[in-house]
Protein backbone atom coordinates (compact mmCIF):
# COMPACT_ATOMS: atom_id res chain seq x y z
CA UNK A 1 0.00 0.00 0.00
CA UNK A 2 1.36 3.41 -0.96
CA UNK A 3 2.23 5.77 1.85
CA UNK A 4 -0.21 8.63 2.33
CA UNK A 5 1.46 11.95 1.56
CA UNK A 6 0.77 15.39 2.99
CA UNK A 7 2.16 18.81 2.14
CA UNK A 8 2.82 21.81 4.34
CA UNK A 9 3.42 24.76 2.05
CA UNK A 10 1.77 24.65 -1.37
CA UNK A 11 3.07 27.82 -2.95
CA UNK A 12 4.82 27.76 -6.31
CA UNK A 13 7.15 24.87 -5.46
CA UNK A 14 5.04 22.84 -3.06
CA UNK A 15 1.96 22.90 -5.25
CA UNK A 16 3.85 21.60 -8.26
CA UNK A 17 5.48 18.87 -6.22
CA UNK A 18 2.03 17.80 -5.02
CA UNK A 19 0.67 17.89 -8.57
CA UNK A 20 3.54 15.72 -9.77
CA UNK A 21 2.88 13.05 -7.16
CA UNK A 22 -0.86 13.20 -7.81
CA UNK A 23 -0.23 12.67 -11.53
CA UNK A 24 1.73 9.52 -10.63
CA UNK A 25 -1.22 8.23 -8.57
CA UNK A 26 0.37 8.74 -5.16
CA UNK A 27 -2.29 9.29 -2.46
CA UNK A 28 -1.74 12.98 -1.67
CA UNK A 29 -4.31 13.21 1.08
CA UNK A 30 -3.96 16.63 2.70
CA UNK A 31 -2.41 20.07 2.14
CA UNK A 32 -1.80 23.05 4.41
CA UNK A 33 -0.70 26.58 3.66
CA UNK A 34 -0.79 29.83 5.61
CA UNK A 35 -2.74 31.15 2.62
CA UNK A 36 -5.90 29.11 3.04
CA UNK A 37 -7.26 30.07 -0.38
CA UNK A 38 -4.15 28.66 -2.06
CA UNK A 39 -4.46 25.44 -0.05
CA UNK A 40 -8.11 25.07 -1.03
CA UNK A 41 -7.37 25.60 -4.72
CA UNK A 42 -4.59 23.02 -4.77
CA UNK A 43 -6.63 20.56 -2.71
CA UNK A 44 -9.56 20.81 -5.11
CA UNK A 45 -7.28 20.24 -8.08
CA UNK A 46 -5.67 17.06 -6.71
CA UNK A 47 -8.53 15.67 -4.65
CA UNK A 48 -6.96 16.27 -1.25
CA UNK A 49 -8.26 17.81 1.96
CA UNK A 50 -7.29 21.42 2.70
CA UNK A 51 -6.82 21.86 6.43
CA UNK A 52 -6.10 24.78 8.72
CA UNK A 53 -4.57 22.50 11.35
CA UNK A 54 -1.01 21.23 11.20
CA UNK A 55 -1.91 18.28 13.42
CA UNK A 56 -4.47 17.23 10.82
CA UNK A 57 -1.71 16.97 8.20
CA UNK A 58 0.16 14.55 10.44
CA UNK A 59 -3.01 12.60 11.18
CA UNK A 60 -3.84 12.03 7.51
CA UNK A 61 -0.29 11.33 6.28
CA UNK A 62 2.51 8.81 6.61
CA UNK A 63 5.05 11.02 4.84
CA UNK A 64 4.88 14.81 5.12
CA UNK A 65 6.73 17.21 2.83
CA UNK A 66 7.41 20.63 4.31
CA UNK A 67 8.11 23.46 1.87
CA UNK A 68 8.45 26.63 3.94
CA UNK A 69 10.30 29.90 3.56
CA UNK A 70 12.74 30.27 6.45
CA UNK A 71 13.93 29.12 9.86
CA UNK A 72 11.15 30.91 11.73
CA UNK A 73 8.48 29.19 9.65
CA UNK A 74 10.15 25.83 10.26
CA UNK A 75 10.15 26.25 14.03
CA UNK A 76 6.51 27.36 13.89
CA UNK A 77 5.24 24.24 12.14
CA UNK A 78 7.27 22.02 14.49
CA UNK A 79 6.30 23.91 17.63
CA UNK A 80 6.52 22.16 20.99
CA UNK A 81 3.23 23.70 22.08
CA UNK A 82 -0.08 24.37 20.38
CA UNK A 83 -0.98 23.21 16.88
CA UNK A 84 2.03 21.40 15.47
CA UNK A 85 3.13 18.68 13.08
CA UNK A 86 4.59 16.91 16.12
CA UNK A 87 1.13 16.01 17.46
CA UNK A 88 0.49 12.32 16.86
CA UNK A 89 3.69 12.08 14.81
CA UNK A 90 4.99 8.73 16.08
CA UNK A 91 6.04 6.60 13.10
CA UNK A 92 5.73 9.44 10.59
CA UNK A 93 8.48 10.67 8.26
CA UNK A 94 9.01 14.36 7.56
CA UNK A 95 10.83 15.37 4.38
CA UNK A 96 11.99 18.93 4.92
CA UNK A 97 12.89 20.71 1.70
CA UNK A 98 13.39 24.32 2.77
CA UNK A 99 16.67 26.18 2.31
CA UNK A 100 17.32 27.02 5.95
CA UNK A 101 20.25 26.86 8.32
CA UNK A 102 21.80 23.44 9.03
CA UNK A 103 21.29 24.07 12.74
CA UNK A 104 17.53 24.32 12.25
CA UNK A 105 17.36 21.05 10.31
CA UNK A 106 19.29 19.33 13.12
CA UNK A 107 17.11 20.79 15.88
CA UNK A 108 13.90 19.89 14.06
CA UNK A 109 15.23 16.37 13.62
CA UNK A 110 15.75 16.10 17.37
CA UNK A 111 12.21 17.34 18.03
CA UNK A 112 10.88 14.66 15.71
CA UNK A 113 12.91 11.93 17.39
CA UNK A 114 11.52 12.95 20.77
CA UNK A 115 8.00 12.05 19.59
CA UNK A 116 9.01 8.90 17.71
CA UNK A 117 9.09 10.44 14.23
CA UNK A 118 11.89 10.79 11.69
CA UNK A 119 13.03 13.78 9.66
CA UNK A 120 15.31 14.04 6.65
CA UNK A 121 16.48 16.88 4.45
CA UNK A 122 15.64 16.94 0.76
CA UNK A 123 17.11 20.29 -0.26
CA UNK A 124 16.16 21.13 -3.83
CA UNK A 125 17.97 22.58 -6.80
CA UNK A 126 16.10 23.66 -9.94
CA UNK A 127 12.81 25.53 -9.85
CA UNK A 128 9.09 25.53 -10.54
CA UNK A 129 9.07 23.82 -13.98
CA UNK A 130 11.29 21.03 -12.65
CA UNK A 131 9.03 20.53 -9.64
CA UNK A 132 6.11 20.05 -12.01
CA UNK A 133 7.92 17.72 -14.40
CA UNK A 134 9.61 15.64 -11.72
CA UNK A 135 13.14 16.65 -12.70
CA UNK A 136 14.34 18.25 -9.47
CA UNK A 137 17.82 17.67 -8.07
CA UNK A 138 17.75 16.61 -4.42
CA UNK A 139 20.52 16.96 -1.85
CA UNK A 140 19.63 14.53 0.92
CA UNK A 141 20.63 14.43 4.57
CA UNK A 142 19.65 12.34 7.57
CA UNK A 143 19.65 8.69 8.62
CA UNK A 144 20.47 6.62 5.55
CA UNK A 145 17.84 3.98 6.32
CA UNK A 146 15.13 6.65 6.49
CA UNK A 147 16.32 8.21 3.23
CA UNK A 148 16.23 4.75 1.63
CA UNK A 149 12.66 4.22 2.83
CA UNK A 150 11.33 7.26 0.98
CA UNK A 151 13.75 7.08 -1.95
CA UNK A 152 11.13 5.69 -4.39
CA UNK A 153 8.98 8.79 -3.83
CA UNK A 154 11.93 11.13 -4.26
CA UNK A 155 13.04 9.34 -7.43
CA UNK A 156 9.65 10.04 -8.97
CA UNK A 157 10.13 13.74 -8.24
CA UNK A 158 13.67 14.12 -9.51
CA UNK A 159 16.13 13.51 -12.31
CA UNK A 160 18.95 12.92 -9.84
CA UNK A 161 19.77 13.03 -6.16
CA UNK A 162 22.80 12.90 -3.89
CA UNK A 163 23.05 11.67 -0.31
CA UNK A 164 25.26 14.16 1.53
CA UNK A 165 25.48 12.67 5.02
CA UNK A 166 23.95 13.17 8.44
CA UNK A 167 21.20 15.66 9.16
CA UNK A 168 22.44 19.18 8.43
CA UNK A 169 24.84 18.09 5.70
CA UNK A 170 22.44 18.73 2.83
CA UNK A 171 21.68 22.22 4.13
CA UNK A 172 25.38 23.01 4.13
CA UNK A 173 25.73 21.80 0.56
CA UNK A 174 22.65 23.76 -0.53
CA UNK A 175 24.03 26.91 1.11
CA UNK A 176 27.19 26.53 -0.98
CA UNK A 177 25.19 25.91 -4.16
CA UNK A 178 23.12 29.04 -3.70
CA UNK A 179 26.08 31.12 -2.59
CA UNK A 180 27.96 30.34 -5.80
CA UNK A 181 24.82 30.73 -7.92
CA UNK A 182 24.10 34.14 -6.40
CA UNK A 183 27.70 35.29 -6.92
CA UNK A 184 27.50 34.17 -10.56
CA UNK A 185 24.21 36.02 -10.98
CA UNK A 186 25.64 39.23 -9.55
CA UNK A 187 28.76 38.90 -11.73
CA UNK A 188 26.70 38.36 -14.88
CA UNK A 189 24.58 41.41 -14.06
CA UNK A 190 27.72 43.50 -13.77
CA UNK A 191 29.17 42.14 -17.02
CA UNK A 192 26.01 42.84 -19.00
CA UNK A 193 25.55 46.21 -17.31
CA UNK A 194 29.06 47.29 -18.26
CA UNK A 195 28.54 46.01 -21.81
CA UNK A 196 25.42 48.16 -22.03
CA UNK A 197 27.34 51.19 -20.75
CA UNK A 198 30.00 50.55 -23.43
CA UNK A 199 27.30 50.49 -26.12
CA UNK A 200 28.06 46.89 -27.04
CA UNK A 201 25.45 44.63 -28.58
CA UNK A 202 24.11 42.48 -25.74
CA UNK A 203 23.08 39.61 -28.00
CA UNK A 204 26.65 39.44 -29.26
CA UNK A 205 28.02 39.66 -25.71
CA UNK A 206 25.85 36.79 -24.49
CA UNK A 207 26.93 34.66 -27.44
CA UNK A 208 30.61 35.40 -26.77
CA UNK A 209 30.15 34.68 -23.06
CA UNK A 210 28.58 31.33 -23.91
CA UNK A 211 31.67 30.24 -25.85
CA UNK A 212 34.28 31.39 -23.35
CA UNK A 213 35.26 31.24 -19.70
CA UNK A 214 32.40 33.65 -18.95
CA UNK A 215 29.87 30.89 -19.59
CA UNK A 216 27.70 29.65 -16.72
CA UNK A 217 24.35 28.04 -15.99
CA UNK A 218 23.16 31.48 -14.86
CA UNK A 219 23.99 32.89 -18.32
CA UNK A 220 21.63 30.29 -19.79
CA UNK A 221 18.80 30.88 -17.33
CA UNK A 222 19.07 34.61 -16.60
CA UNK A 223 21.13 36.35 -19.27
CA UNK A 224 18.35 37.10 -21.73
CA UNK A 225 15.99 37.98 -18.90
CA UNK A 226 18.47 40.54 -17.56
CA UNK A 227 18.80 42.06 -21.01
CA UNK A 228 15.03 42.24 -21.56
CA UNK A 229 14.08 43.17 -17.97
CA UNK A 230 11.98 40.02 -17.72
CA UNK A 231 12.00 39.23 -14.03
CA UNK A 232 9.03 36.90 -13.58
CA UNK A 233 9.80 35.07 -10.39
CA UNK A 234 11.25 31.57 -10.34
CA UNK A 235 13.69 32.22 -7.48
CA UNK A 236 13.08 35.49 -5.69
CA UNK A 237 15.58 38.19 -4.80
CA UNK A 238 14.41 37.88 -1.19
CA UNK A 239 15.33 34.21 -1.17
CA UNK A 240 18.68 34.98 -2.78
CA UNK A 241 19.35 37.45 0.04
CA UNK A 242 18.31 34.94 2.70
CA UNK A 243 20.40 32.15 1.23
CA UNK A 244 23.49 34.33 0.82
CA UNK A 245 23.08 35.18 4.50
CA UNK A 246 22.99 31.50 5.46
CA UNK A 247 26.30 30.92 3.67
CA UNK A 248 27.88 33.98 5.28
CA UNK A 249 26.80 32.78 8.72
CA UNK A 250 28.44 29.42 8.06
CA UNK A 251 31.61 31.22 6.94
CA UNK A 252 31.54 33.30 10.11
CA UNK A 253 31.27 30.14 12.22
CA UNK A 254 34.43 28.80 10.58
CA UNK A 255 36.30 32.12 10.69
CA UNK A 256 36.46 32.30 6.90
CA UNK A 257 36.43 35.62 5.02
CA UNK A 258 34.32 35.51 1.81
CA UNK A 259 34.38 38.98 0.21
CA UNK A 260 32.54 37.99 -2.98
CA UNK A 261 29.73 36.37 -1.01
CA UNK A 262 29.52 39.47 1.18
CA UNK A 263 29.42 41.81 -1.83
CA UNK A 264 26.67 39.70 -3.39
CA UNK A 265 24.69 39.77 -0.15
CA UNK A 266 25.05 43.57 -0.06
CA UNK A 267 23.77 43.89 -3.64
CA UNK A 268 20.72 41.74 -2.96
CA UNK A 269 20.07 43.71 0.20
CA UNK A 270 20.09 46.93 -1.89
CA UNK A 271 17.78 45.31 -4.42
CA UNK A 272 15.26 44.26 -1.79
CA UNK A 273 15.34 47.73 -0.22
CA UNK A 274 14.49 49.20 -3.63
CA UNK A 275 11.33 47.08 -3.73
CA UNK A 276 12.45 44.21 -5.95
CA UNK A 277 12.29 41.47 -3.33
CA UNK A 278 9.48 39.53 -4.99
CA UNK A 279 11.09 39.74 -8.43
CA UNK A 280 13.33 36.99 -9.76
CA UNK A 281 16.99 36.99 -8.70
CA UNK A 282 17.81 38.19 -12.23
CA UNK A 283 16.47 41.58 -11.15
CA UNK A 284 19.88 42.24 -9.61
CA UNK A 285 20.68 43.57 -13.10
CA UNK A 286 18.42 46.52 -12.25
CA UNK A 287 21.33 47.71 -10.09
CA UNK A 288 23.98 47.46 -12.81
CA UNK A 289 22.48 48.74 -16.07
CA UNK A 290 23.15 52.45 -16.62
CA UNK A 291 19.61 53.14 -17.83
CA UNK A 292 18.10 51.53 -14.72
CA UNK A 293 19.64 51.99 -11.24
CA UNK A 294 23.26 51.40 -12.21
CA UNK A 295 24.18 55.05 -11.69
CA UNK A 296 22.49 55.33 -8.29
CA UNK A 297 24.84 56.48 -5.50
CA UNK A 298 23.09 54.74 -2.61
Distance CA 65, CA 6 (A): 6
Residue 295 CB coordination number (10 Å): 10
Distance CA 87, CA 78 (A): 9
SS (H, E, C) the chain: CCCCEEEECCCHHHHHHHHHHHHCCCCEEEEECCCHHHHHHHHHHHCCEECCCHHHHHHCCCEEEECCCCHHHHHHHCCCCCCCCCCCCCCCEEEECCCCCHHHHHHHHHHHHHCCCEEEEEEEECCHHHHHHCCEEEEEECCHHHHHHHHHHHHCCEEEEEEEECCCHHHHHHHHHHHHHHHHHHHHHHHHHHHHHCCCCHHHHHHHHHCCCCCCHHHHHHHHHHHHCCCCCCCEHHHHHHHHHHHHHHHHHHCCCCHHHHHHHHHHHHHHHHHHCCCEHHHHHHHCCCCCCCCCCC
Catalytically annotated residues: 174
Amino acid sequence: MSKRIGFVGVGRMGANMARRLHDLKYPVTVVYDINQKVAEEVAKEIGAEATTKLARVTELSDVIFTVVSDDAAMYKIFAKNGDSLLIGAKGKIFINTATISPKTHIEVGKLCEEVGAEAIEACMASSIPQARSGTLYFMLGGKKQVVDEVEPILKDMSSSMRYCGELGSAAKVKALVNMVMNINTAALAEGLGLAKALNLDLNMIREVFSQTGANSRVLQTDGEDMQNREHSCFFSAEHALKDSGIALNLAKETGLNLPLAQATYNQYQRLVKKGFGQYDKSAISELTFPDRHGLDKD
